[in-house]
Amino acid sequence: MATEICAEMVANVIQIVVGPDDEVAAGATLLILESMKMEIPVLAEHGGTVIEVRVTEGDVVQEGDILVVLA
């Protein structure tokens, strides 16, 4: 079953840490967002395999946008 990791606020994608087929543990940093000069790590809710990264560095994301899909 796939899990979609979504943005919790409007932010800029400043760093992507994982890519498709990467194995991640629960709590691992998937990417880093920047909003109001604060860096916000986006963490894996559970361990699994990255199926898809739907953003690229430099993108502006809106609240609710899907960032990463985990299996």
pTM across the whole model: 0.93
Indicate if the pLDDT at residue 1 is higher than 90: no
Q: In whole angstroms, give the CA distance from residue 59 to residue 64.
A: 14
C-alpha to C-alpha distance for 66 and 54, rounded to whole angstroms = 7
At 8 the pLDDT is 95
Which distant-in-sequence residues (6+ apart) come within 8 Å of 44 by Cβ?
Answer: 5, 24, 25, 26, 27, 28, 29, 30, 70
28's tokens: 């691992």
Cα separation of 59 and 67, whole Å?
10
* % pLDDT > 90, the chain: 99
| CATH code of 16's domain | 2.40.50.100
The domain tally of the chain equals: 1
Range of the domain at 50: 3-70
For 16-42, what is each residue's pLDDT tens digit? 999 999 999 999 999 999 999 999 999
